[in-house]
Amino acid sequence: MITGLIREELLSSGATVVGIASLRGVLHDDIAHLDTAISIGVDKNLNEDTISLLVSLQKKAAKRLKREGYRYFCIPPDSDRIKNKFVSSLFSFFPHKMAATSAGIGWIGKNGLLISAEYGPRLSLATVITDAPLQVSAPIEYSFCGECSLCVEFCPSGSLTGNFWSRVEPFIELIKLDRCNTHKSKSRALNGKPNCGLCINICPYGRKEIREKAREREINSGFEEVRV
Ligand code: B12
Ligand code: SF4
Ligand code: SF4
């Protein structure tokens, strides 16, 4: 019941997608007691307004969990930029993408981003972890990129390795970050724009009709809800 309440509250307050994941056995010792994750995605570019929206959604979930007597911890969307030392240290061992794939929201594409069959590569993410006994979804185990490698072919800096992500080998190298960053810095020097983003714009899952087909495939493959 609390799972449905949280989901409804967040969706009616601006979340595009809300998934619940079991992260049992994968968390750092300091947060391992809060091994259920509420993964929140909004279909908007990651900017100040989006971060404010995500933070307000996290607060809503936290308020509900507190009212019901559960423990929780909000991992901010921009954890790397937060002044609090503990929170800022979290980004390297708590990637929001880990919660999102584990909640069945999407897979990690060859462009290194979370790809949702329904919303494409543009979801911005935040996570609330908790000890509440929420109803969790099955994780997505493999990439659905298939034969596509548009992002790899067209990346102007040759940063993308073309490797396939899977939950079996979740940290396989997908992006040569130094190359991507150098390319972005050069483009900033040329036209004042720090971001490239071609690997986002070119992804077919960002296009509505492809997303709809993929959604059908996902429904037919029967992702099911399981309880912890
Ligand atoms: C540091 C950082 C950057 C750095 C380095 C990027 C990188 N790829 O590492 C820089 C500045 C370059 C950057 C750029 C961008 N970033 Co950034 N970034 C982050 C940040 C703060 C930490 C990422 C990190 O280093 N994590 C540690 C590494 C080890 O994990 P990871 O690669 O993120 O994710 C891996 C795990 O999740 C693992 N995994 C997946 N499922 C599972 C399941 C299990 C069980 C396990 C164990 C692991 C696992 O697979 C992933 C890929 O290997 C996150 C916020 C956060 N806290 O997550 C945002 C984040 C990843 N960035 C984001 C975005 C939007 C961007 C940009 C598009 C911004 C822009 N406009 O340019 C670009 C995209 C570049 C690209 N193609 O990846 C979004 C991604 C959303 C999405 N749909 O995927 C995030 C999640 C921020 C957010 N709150 O939404 N970013
Ligand atoms: S942001 Fe540009 S340079 Fe970086 S991986 Fe994507 S397409 Fe390549
Ligand atoms: S462009 Fe193709 S290969 Fe790249 S992330 Fe999207 S679906 Fe996957």
CATH number at residue 10: 3.40.109
Report the separation in Å between the CA atom of 151 and the middle of ligand 3, taken as the mean of its atom positions.
6
What is the position in ligand 2's atom list of the atom closest to the CA of 195? 1
Q: Are 128 and 62 in contact (CB under 8 A)?
A: yes
What lines the ligand 1 site, CB under 6 Å?
26, 46, 77, 79-80, 91-92, 95-98, 101-102, 108, 111-114, 121, 123-126, 167, 170-171, 174-175, 177, 181, 195, 197, 199
Q: Is the pLDDT of residue 109 over 70?
A: yes
Give the closest residue (by CA) to ligand 2 atom 2: 196
pLDDT for the residue numbered 112: 97
pLDDT for the residue numbered 138: 97
Percent of the chain at pLDDT > 90 equals 71
Q: Which residue, chain included where needed, has tokens 């720090």?
A: 194
Q: Is the pLDDT of residue 225 over 60?
A: no
Mutate to test the pocket of ligand 1, among 51, 52, 98 (most ligand atoms within 8 A of CB): 98
> Does residue 106 sit within a domain?
yes
> Does residue 221 sit within a domain?
no
193-197 average pLDDT score: 74
Q: Are 40 and 18 in contact (CB under 8 A)?
A: yes
Report the separation in Å between the CA atom of 68 and the middle of ligand 1, taken as the mean of its atom positions.
32
Averaged pLDDT of the chain: 89
Between residues 74 and 185, the one the model is more confident about: 74
152-181 average pLDDT score: 96
> Does residue 30 sit within a domain?
yes
pLDDT for the residue numbered 227: 31
Number of folded domains that form the chain: 1
Domain holding 84, by residue range, is 2-141
Beta bridge partners of 200: none
Contacts 24+ apart (CB under 8 A), 204-212: 204/148, 204/150, 205/109, 205/115, 205/116, 205/117, 205/120, 205/121, 206/120, 206/121, 206/122, 207/120, 211/116, 211/117, 211/118, 211/119, 211/120
Q: What is the pTM of this model?
A: 0.91
